[in-house]
Amino acid sequence: MTQLEMLLSPRRSFEVATSFRSAGRRGSMGRRYAMIRWPMMALAISCIGTIGLADSAPLNVLLFTADDLHRDSLGCYGSPVEAITPNLDRFAREGMRFDNAHVNTAICEPSRKILASGLYGFNSGSMGFMPVRENVPIIHDILGEADYLTGVIGKLRHSTPKVSYEWDYAFGRRDMGDGRNPTLYYERSLAFFKMCREAGKPFYFMVNSEDPHLPWYNPEIGPVRGAEAPTRLYSPDEFPVPDHLPDIPGVRKALANYYNSTKRMDDTFGRVMQALDESGMRENTLIVYLSDNGIPTPFSKCNTFLASTRTPFLVQWPGVVKPGSINESLISSVDFAPTILEALALPALPQADGRSLVSLLKNPARDSGKPFIFTQVDSKVDGAAIPMRCIQNKKFGYIYNMWHRDDYYYRNNNEVDVMRAMEEAAENDPAIRARIIQYRYRSLEELYDLENDPGCLNNLVASPDYRRVLNSLRETMDATMQASGDPLLKAFRNRNDASIVQEVFDQVYPNHNPNIKRREWERF
């Protein structure tokens, strides 16, 4: 049995199919292909070589997502780190780079549900680690009607939009070398492309690297759970520390492993592009690259700071996107689904909070027309609701922390080594101690000068000099929440009335995990 045949053996096929059944009841979408996908794959194995596609063949879509990536870590976004992302840098040179792109929410699963639905979480039902409601249209429905085959590798559950949805081809983290094995990404991408070619159908393929999500690659431990080592390792003196973190030895030591994982993410991307090239389908494939959220450290992931939601956003569309083009307007991940449907000339979603970017892809000088970006957090993986809303333009960011109370503190599961280093340093460094307290307790409202303080270190909300800016962004927040149907609007308008805020909280987040509510943070 060849390696490819082993990968696609009936045993593995059964495991994948079983995992979907256990995810919930079967729906109508995807069932057709679920029933025929494995015979098609067997056929694909038996076929060698490529067959040229007709010019009129429908456009394929490949969406590659990084997991927990800091935008500024990429060479094409200005990172000075040596040889960190050569594959993505080349991709950017040959495609289009968006410089002010944001995800709508900086958490793995809800961020991916927004890609599928074109809707904010409160309009799709995915206000945290939960699926899109069954009756909400998603792009997968429209792709299925148009006879597209859908595939996913890595981040399987996070990327599956509805409980009932069945992909035509799916491998989760454990089947992808912990989502960190570039060779497996190459092989399984190639197999999917062959499967689509033999079926004579176009594809929508979501390729999800689990890098650079924690745990980061530690050379002292080496590859684990089927992962491969990165092609280059980094030492603590080889990179700049992001603006939102203190530059101290313990943070540098931890971030060296983040850069190792970022390098492996680029390795994975390169291998997937290699597979697409070898399939002969590159010239008929629209490719989008982004991250689902920012770096997994304090003051980034699972928050609404600049570093939380700003994402790389790169596009190649042969014959349409001009190589080397750059767009500087504000765009959001909620624009992804409308963009894909327009690019494929398929029916639009009946409702969407995003707008198609096709006109920008055709003409990079165009502006998205968005004067600001609206970003959100509702609940996180442990079930705790920590509602935040943010309005930001290129100059300022305004945050409303609905969760803020004097007797409640914020924490998340991605603090680990970086926070440990900060806590140790805080014993003798009042500035770092103050920074940790700011992180834990925050303020009801925050205002940052993003141009001069991209790390969001200095909250200007109480500064008289910024009163007009603050009031203007408050008005924009109110209008945006109202226009989008945000259920937190009443709380925002009554943000200083604890009883009304609690009433809205209990109504919107009935499954809030009470075990971590209102606990004192004991360390300080």
Measured from the CB atom, is 67 or 187 closer to Ca ion?
A: 67
The least CB distance from residue 293 to Ca ion, in Å, is: 5
Measured from the CB atom, is 295 or 344 closer to Ca ion?
A: 295
The least CB distance from residue 240 to Ca ion, in Å, is: 22
User: Is residue 210 a contact residue for Ca ion (CB under 5 A)?
Assistant: no
The least CB distance from residue 213 to Ca ion, in Å, is: 6
Binding segment for Ca ion among 108-116, 188-196, 262-270, 420-428 (CB under 5 A)? 108-116
Measured from the CB atom, is 292 or 335 closer to Ca ion?
A: 292
Evaluate the omega torsion of the peptide bond into residue 215 and state whether it is cis, within 30 degrees of 0: yes
Of 72, 210, 228, 292, which one interacts with Ca ion (CB under 5 A)? 292
Q: How many residues bind Ca ion (CB under 5 A)?
A: 5
Of 20, 30, 44, 68, which one interacts with Ca ion (CB under 5 A)? 68
Measured from the CB atom, is 88 or 302 closer to Ca ion?
A: 302
Which 442-501 positions form the footprint of Ca ion (CB under 5 A)?
A: none
Spatial CB neighbours of 276, under 8 Å, sequence gap ≥ 6: 62, 189, 193, 282, 285, 287
Is residue 4 within a helix (H) or strand (E), and if so which, with residue range? helix 3-7
Handedness of CA 494, 500, 505, 508 (dihedral sign): negative
The neighbour count for residue 510, using CB atoms within 10 Å, is 8
Cβ-contact 409, 519 below 8 angstroms: yes
Measured from the CB atom, is 300 or 327 closer to Ca ion?
A: 300
User: Is residue 114 a contact residue for Ca ion (CB under 5 A)?
Assistant: no
The least CB distance from residue 3 to Ca ion, in Å, is: 30
The neighbour count for residue 11, using CB atoms within 10 Å, is 7
User: Is residue 268 a contact residue for Ca ion (CB under 5 A)?
Assistant: no
Of 20, 38, 67, 139, which one interacts with Ca ion (CB under 5 A)? 67
* Angstrom distance (rounded) from CA 33 to CA 27: 12
The least CB distance from residue 136 to Ca ion, in Å, is: 22
Give the tokens for residue 209: 């690297």
Binding segment for Ca ion among 102-110, 182-190, 273-281, 356-364 (CB under 5 A)? 102-110
The least CB distance from residue 111 to Ca ion, in Å, is: 7
How many CA atoms, within 13 angstroms, populate the side-chain half-sphere of residue 118?
25
Binding segment for Ca ion among 10-18, 286-294, 405-413, 465-473 (CB under 5 A)? 286-294
The least CB distance from residue 174 to Ca ion, in Å, is: 17
* Angstrom distance (rounded) from CA 347 to CA 501: 40
Question: Read out DSSP for 418-464?
Answer: HHHHHHHHHTT-HHHHHHHHHHHH--SEEEEETTT-TT--S--TT-G
The least CB distance from residue 297 to Ca ion, in Å, is: 12
The least CB distance from residue 236 to Ca ion, in Å, is: 24
The least CB distance from residue 156 to Ca ion, in Å, is: 14
Measured from the CB atom, is 67 or 211 closer to Ca ion?
A: 67
Binding segment for Ca ion among 43-51, 60-68, 347-355, 369-377 (CB under 5 A)? 60-68
Binding segment for Ca ion among 107-115, 250-258, 280-288, 335-343 (CB under 5 A)? 107-115
Token pair 């593995």 in the structure block, residue: 12
Helix (H/G/I), strand (E/B), else coil: 69: coil
User: Is residue 293 a contact residue for Ca ion (CB under 5 A)?
Assistant: yes
Which 216-245 positions form the footprint of Ca ion (CB under 5 A)?
A: none
Measured from the CB atom, is 279 or 303 closer to Ca ion?
A: 303
Question: Read out DSSP for 170-221?
Answer: EE-GGGGTTTT-HHHHHHHHHHHHHHHHHHT--EEEEEE--TTSSSPP-TTT
* Angstrom distance (rounded) from CA 103 to CA 13: 33
Report the residue number whose CB is nearest to Ca ion.
108
The least CB distance from residue 214 to Ca ion, in Å, is: 10
Cβ-contact 28, 166 below 8 angstroms: no
Of 74, 108, 425, 432, which one interacts with Ca ion (CB under 5 A)? 108
DSSP code at position 55? T
User: Is residue 166 a contact residue for Ca ion (CB under 5 A)?
Assistant: no
Evaluate the omega torsion of the peptide bond into residue 338 and state whether it is cis, within 30 degrees of 0: no
Measured from the CB atom, is 279 or 414 closer to Ca ion?
A: 414
Measured from the CB atom, is 292 or 445 closer to Ca ion?
A: 292
Cβ-contact 167, 30 below 8 angstroms: yes
Give the tokens for residue 436: 């940790």
The least CB distance from residue 87 to Ca ion, in Å, is: 20
Measured from the CB atom, is 208 or 327 closer to Ca ion?
A: 208
Question: Read out DSSP for 328-359?
Answer: EEEEEGGGHHHHHHHHTT-PPPSS-SS---HH
Binding segment for Ca ion among 189-197, 279-287, 291-299, 422-430 (CB under 5 A)? 291-299
Measured from the CB atom, is 108 or 286 closer to Ca ion?
A: 108
Measured from the CB atom, is 168 or 292 closer to Ca ion?
A: 292
Q: Which residues pair with 32 in a beta bridge?
A: none
Smallest Cα–Cα separation from 450: which of 364, 504, 500, 390?
A: 390
Measured from the CB atom, is 105 or 368 closer to Ca ion?
A: 105
Cβ-contact 493, 475 below 8 angstroms: no
Give Cα separations from 7 to 16, 149, 176, 185 (angstroms).
12, 19, 10, 11
The least CB distance from residue 108 to Ca ion, in Å, is: 4
The least CB distance from residue 421 to Ca ion, in Å, is: 22
- Which residues would be at the binding site for Ca ion (CB under 5 A)? 67-68, 108, 292-293
